[in-house]
Amino acid sequence: MKPHLTFEECASLYANTNTKSMSLATLMITLCSKHKRSEVERRKYIDELKNIIHHFDEGSATIRTIDIAISTLVQEEGYDEVVTLVRKLGNSSLASLKSFRLDQILKVLSSYPNDFELDIAKHIFSVLLERKQVSLYAYNYYAQCLFKYNFEEGMTLLHEMNAQKIKIFDNLFISSLTFSLKKNKQKESRMICSMIEHSKTTNKVLLTTMVNFYNKCEDYDKAIEITRNVSSDGLDTTSYNCLIQSYIGKSDLNRAIEMLAEMQQQNISPDSATFTIILTACADSKNYEQGLKVLSLKNKIKHITIRMLNAMINFYNKCEKFDKAIELFESVTKDRVDTTSYNCVIQSYIGKGDLNGAIEILAEMQHLNISPDSATLTIILTACADSKNYEQGLKVLNIIGENKTSNNHSITSMINFYNKCEKFDKAIELFESVSKDRLDTTSSQLFNSILYWKR
């Protein structure tokens, strides 16, 4: 294709070429941009390029062509094809690429999850070191690769960057702290948090990750300090949710509810998670008055999730407002509830002493094809055991079926049920029918008590 040809002539020649090559595809993409062709036409050649790469042979293209192809694919976010192409290149070909192109490859590799890419990243970084052309980007992207595949090496490079005052990007901080938390490395997590604080970042995701870390470590004062040092325009709903969790962790429910009011003053909308967090705390402390204050604001959110609905029912249950819990459950359509919702309302009926109502709810679950779980069985069977109502307990077992209970607590509740109803032989039969790895200490203690009462 000679430079003086028109675009249409080039396109015609390309269309009539039997074997498409990377050089031809990149040329057509370049010509599309130069001649301001339509995006649809340009995309056609980009798709051709992507297809060619999957059948690419290293000797079939020059370094310049490979360089242009990588540049084009990065621009088009064709990261899968970049990785595919890089995998097929030998070390010498990679070493021939320009430094800023190697930076781009490191950026792509930093988001890929396979060990194979780490070897490529290490080679690229060594080439850049040899050239003495390691940019800020190369340091940060390479460190992200290391944290993904080798946490210790990642920490070593992070310390080196920090010591040499090499700017650490927020994405690297997020990546390093996330992997540190996953691996439960508290010491390293604190070191990373210290670096983050010194960086004076205002990244909301990063600050939220830090606050979550301190909340998990039960260092609530530190979590609060970090959040309160952020200007109000740097906070969002998630930030406030974490802050509320910090105050709840400190058992300061009043302050947590004040944060809800502060959110509204700042025109930051609470979400279902906000209400779920606070309502759960109100339920655990059986603080009905505070819970009502929170519920009075629930119309501020657009969508009540199932999790929030369950938290509301649980709140009424814990505060022994069983009729309100049942009323709330009955007010929502059944496509908005799940097994946990049913477990909560079963607890409501049991709380008000209506075992028949609880079993009717269990039957409704079955009718609606909502599967009961081990918690469902445990809740109802415990109530049957406490009231020594053997007939009702049998109904429950018939509905759920013994074979569907694989949870240790379920087995324990079944043994306890038979025990309380003085059906010791059935309890022993059940105990001996299950493998011992499915039993816990409570099951064994119940079994010993059965043997005692049988004497």
pLDDT tens digits for range 197-251 = 999 888 888 999 999 999 999 999 999 999 988 887 788 999 999 999 999 999 9
Residue 436: the pLDDT is 64
154 and 233 share one domain? no
Q: How do residues 344-364 score in pLDDT, each as one tens digit? A: 999 999 999 999 999 999 989
Amino acid identity of residue 46, one-letter, is I
Contact indicator for 307, 272 with CB cutoff of 8 Å: yes
109 and 160 share one domain? yes
Neighbouring C-beta atoms of residue 84, cutoff 10 Å: 15
DSSP letter for 339, please.
H
1 and 57 share one domain? yes
Pairwise CA distance, residues 371 & 342, whole Å: 10
DSSP letter for 166, please.
P
192 and 281 share one domain? no
The SS3 call for residue 410 is helix
178 and 108 share one domain? yes
DSSP letter for 168, please.
P
> What residues have CB less than 8 Å from 197, skipping those under 6 apart?
210, 226
Q: What is the pTM of this model?
A: 0.72
217 and 297 share one domain? yes
Neighbouring C-beta atoms of residue 409, cutoff 10 Å: 16
Domain boundary among 180, 201, 222: 201
Amino acid identity of residue 452, one-letter, is Y
Residue 455: the pLDDT is 52
58 and 143 share one domain? no
C-alpha distances (whole Å) from 398 to each of 152, 362, 363, 384 are 54, 11, 11, 14
Supply the angle between the helices 339-351 and 374-386 in degrees, to the nearest 10: 10
Amino acid identity of residue 381, one-letter, is L
Burial class from Cβ neighbours inside 10 Å (0-12, 13-18, 19+) for residue 443 reads buried
Counting the structural domains of the chain, the total is 3
Residue 418 lies inside a defined structural domain of this protein: no
DSSP letter for 270, please.
-
Domain boundary among 303, 331, 354: 303
Pairwise CA distance, residues 347 & 433, whole Å: 29
Q: Give the torsion through C-alpha atoms of 276, 282, 286, 288, to 10 deg.
A: -100
Pairwise CA distance, residues 54 & 43, whole Å: 17
Residue 319: the pLDDT is 96
Instruction: State the CATH number of the domain containing residue 241.
Output: 1.25.40
Contact indicator for 143, 172 with CB cutoff of 8 Å: yes
257 and 284 share one domain? yes
DSSP letter for 402, please.
G
Residue 265 lies inside a defined structural domain of this protein: yes
252 and 262 share one domain? yes
Domain boundary among 64, 97, 130: 97
Residue 370 lies inside a defined structural domain of this protein: no
Which residues does the chain have with pLDDT short of 50?
Answer: 1-2, 403, 452
Residue 294 lies inside a defined structural domain of this protein: yes
DSSP per-residue string spanning 120-185 = HHHHHHHHHHHHT---HHHHHHHHHHHHHH-HHHHHHHHHHHHHTTPPPPHHHHHHHHHHHHHTT-
Dump strand ranges (E) for 104-207.
Answer: none
> What residues have CB less than 8 Å from 171, skipping those under 6 apart?
140, 144
Residue 72 lies inside a defined structural domain of this protein: yes
The two three-digit tokens of residue 403, written as one number? 């074979």
Contact indicator for 294, 272 with CB cutoff of 8 Å: no
Nearest to 358 by CA among 333, 387, 336, 332: 387
Residue 106 lies inside a defined structural domain of this protein: yes
Pairwise CA distance, residues 219 & 227, whole Å: 13
Residue 157 lies inside a defined structural domain of this protein: yes
> What residues have CB less than 8 Å from 404, skipping those under 6 apart?
372
89 and 108 share one domain? no
Contact indicator for 81, 105 with CB cutoff of 8 Å: no
Pairwise CA distance, residues 103 & 98, whole Å: 9
Pairwise CA distance, residues 370 & 393, whole Å: 20
26 and 92 share one domain? yes
Chain centroid to CA 132: 39
Residue 415 lies inside a defined structural domain of this protein: no
232 and 275 share one domain? yes
Contact indicator for 322, 313 with CB cutoff of 8 Å: no
Residue 403: the pLDDT is 45
List the domain range (segments joined by +) for residue 258.
206-303
Max alpha carbon distance in the chain (Å)?
106
Q: Give the torsion through C-alpha atoms of 406, 407, 413, 418, to 10 deg.
A: 20
